[in-house]
Amino acid sequence: MPDDPQPHPITVAIERRIDPTRTAEATSWMQAGTDLAAGFTGFLGSGWVRAGEGSDLWYMLYRFRDIPTLEAWEQSSPRAWWLDSGRAFASEVRSERRTGIEGWFDAPFATHVEAGTAGSAGPPATGPIQRPVIAPPRWKQAITIWLGFFPTNLLASWALGFLPGFTDWPLVLRILLATILLTPVMTYLVLPWVTRMLRPWLQRGA
């Protein structure tokens, strides 16, 4: 199977716990991390947001063109220096990479970065201006996947029936061939198109 020629962006969402007595330092530190990432090849944007005025949970989101450019940033000495400089007041709670199936929908604590933050064309802002983007409910995600999978699987089953001797193959081999063929079709063609068509419905009420 040939490699897909188009790179697929990957988003990283990081949840950190910040010492509430050092908010001013943390604010500068988070912005410094965003500015550092912006200087790396493949950087597509970044931003951060606090869970609430009285919360010690802060969320950071950044996106790169593909895994190699993301890992170049994550393994770089500037990022290592930046992380070390914040250890006194910031501790990582969890980190998630969003791509593949999860990339069809918004990350559960993704943020929409308004103009003026890193990665945008506008002038620099004095701070992050962001609004949360909530992932659609699981039942909507399930319906969306089914709407893409059912007609694709139906068409593939019909087309494979013309393959000489295919119906005589063992069930395991038939399913193996079907999944090998359908996985890239669903990932790169069908589901991106279905989620794009259903996006207003997916985001309604979120």
When pLDDT is averaged across residues 176-186 and rounded to a whole number, the result is 86
In this predicted structure, the answer to whether residue 76 has a pLDDT above a threshold of 90 is yes
Task: Report the predicted TM-score, pTM, of the whole model to 2 decimal places.
Answer: 0.50
**Distance between CA atoms of residues 65 and 7, nearest Å:** 6
The whole-number pLDDT of residue 95 equals 86
pLDDT digits (tens, 9 = 90+) for 134-178: 567 778 888 888 998 999 999 988 998 888 988 888 988 888 888
In this predicted structure, the answer to whether residue 84 has a pLDDT above a threshold of 90 is yes
When pLDDT is averaged across residues 69-98 and rounded to a whole number, the result is 90
Asked if 182 and 152 count as a contact pair (C-beta separation under 8 A), the reply is yes
SS (HEC) of 182-196: HHHHHHHHHHHHHHH
Average pLDDT of the chain?
78
What residue ranges define each of the domains in the chain, with the CATH number in brackets? Answer: 10-133 (3.30.70.100), 138-203 (no CATH)
